[in-house]
Amino acid sequence: MLRTITLGSCVSVQGIFVKDLADGRVAVKVDETVYAGTPVRKN
C-alpha cells in the first residue's frame, strides 16, 4: 500500500508502507531507502 509522509516542513515522500512507529510517524520504502516522517492526513 502506498503512503505519503512529510519530512520536515515542505518535503513529501510517497512509498510502500513499512510500519507505524511508536512516536506516531510512519516508515515508507522508496527503492532501497526507508524514510520516516509524519503521515499526510486525508481530507
What are the cell numbers at 33?
531507502
The 10s digit of each residue's pLDDT in 8-31 is 999 999 999 999 999 999 999 999
User: Which amino acid, residue 38?
Assistant: T
Reference 38, options 20, 1, 29, 30; nearest CA is 20
What are the cell numbers at 30?
522508496
Domain ranges of the chain: 2-39
pLDDT at 24: 96
Reference 3, options 43, 38, 21; nearest CA is 38
Confidence of residue 42 (pLDDT cuts 50, 70, 90): confident
- Does the predicted TM-score (pTM) go above 0.85? yes
